[in-house]
Amino acid sequence: MTRLAIDAVVATIAVPAVAALILSLMPSWRLASRINILASLLTVIASAFLLLHRPAPTSLFLIDDLNIVFLLLNSFVGFTTSVFSASYIAHELDTGHLTPRYLRFYHAMYQVMMVGMNLALVTNNLGLMWFGVELATLSTVMMVGIYRTPASIEASWKYLILGSVGIALALFGTILIYLAAKPVLGTGMGAMQWTNLLRHAAALDPAMLNVGFVFLLIGYGTKAGLVPMHAWLPDAHAEGPTPISAVLSGLLLNVALYTILRFKVLLAGSAATIEPGILMASAGLVSLFFAAIMLYRRRDIKRMFAYSSIEHMGIIAFAFGIGGPLGNIAGLLQMMMHSLTKSAIFFSVGHVAQAKDTQKITEIRGLTTSHPLLGWTLVAGVAAIAGLPPFGIFTSEFLLITSTFARAPILAVLLGFGILLAFGALLIRMTALCFGQPSSGSNAITASSVPIFLHLGIVLLIGLALPAFLYDWFAHVATLLG
């Protein structure tokens, strides 16, 4: 069984890697879309196997209660997005936005992205984790600019430049952590392994750990969309393909956050270091308020929901920064609910863009009248992401606010006010988009709706009754996070 578990870990990387190679050579874009789905499904199966059977840590791989949460969520949303991509991206060929060659390239880069994210999640090595995040970033950069329009090329370059600055800072922070470990663990790969670092955390140089964490928070915070390193995210969402918007918000931001949490746990193992939670909570509150204000000024529907992602990453960073059993549980639940809900919203936005042939909010009206199923689905998605009951985000935000009140009432008030501020903007936009006199334009919708209903259904069920096994699982992970 141990051998099978190790094979499953390898499969989470090898399957998308082999699929990417095959897809790059695939002559048929239709067959490529099916292979993309199949590879994503096999990755889900391998990840689910690891939930039941986890191998012991090796020098390369580490599977524990923390990263298995991210890995399962990553592979599941990656699979459902591949299903949506198969139907949505084909529409871009019919409209002339893409050629068959670019469609094949898109599917190949999709699997390269999965390789990078999964590698960052399962590796036991700081350097490989950095490489995985960089690989995922570069692949999504190329997909953002795939339309080859001036706006999409500008967005991809902006993403590349800011992402490169962030990853360079993260690399410097990684080097500082290695230097802190070198006197204790010696030179070589042993000083780069999470298991070794955590075991000897109390003996590492605290000053070096402090400086390293600041660089890591800024560097990986750039990829997590935290303010003020967020500037790439709205443009990438607005100009890239809609399925990529779903994985950027639902997956890549989470992977970047995961790396920060790993280093937060490392610092928590040393009593002489700074309290990393203060920095995370501060960055989270700033991101929440900034994004909430910017929501009122958006004119592009995808750009608006991009700022909503920044808002929620702020809430999640605040939750993990506050920490404690309930704060960490709320952060994990908020992360899961945001990934499922926001990806479902971007799927719906893809349908809207197909139906109305525009992303401008002023040109989209009365969806519940012109496209009832689509309109009411979008209403449900916005209600869920805004934190209304009975959806799961209400549960996580309620848990976070009440637990924060017990420890820091002023911060709880600020958090609640920021969430209400964002809620007002989303309510105004939802009313304009979904109700009133329908706007012109009623093209056929070809993209699949199954992933939308699947995601929103899970969010609704968890909001109605949080499963005991899920709460117990998150409670155990919360103890690891501190």
| pLDDT for 269 | 85
Q: What is the mean pLDDT of residues 375-399?
A: 92
- pTM for this prediction: 0.94
CB-based contact 181:191 (threshold 8 Å):
yes
Tens digits of residue pLDDT in 7-34: 788 899 999 999 999 998 877 777 888 8
- Choose the weakest-confidence range: 61-70, 91-100, 350-359, 407-416: 91-100
DSSP letter string, 111-140: HHHHHHHHHHHHBSBHHHHHHHHHHHHHHH
Share of the chain above pLDDT 90, in %: 51
Tens digits of residue pLDDT in 270-300: 888 888 889 999 999 999 999 999 999 878 8
Exposed e or buried b per residue across 328-348, where buried means at least 16 C-beta atoms within 10 angstroms of its C-beta: bbbbbbbbbbbbbbbbbbbbb
- Choose the weakest-confidence range: 76-85, 295-304, 311-320: 295-304
Cα–Cα distances (Å) from 209 to 52, 181, 267, 270, 279, in that order, read 34, 9, 7, 9, 14
| pLDDT for 2 | 65
| pLDDT for 149 | 85
Joined together, the tokens standing for residue 368 give 């519940």
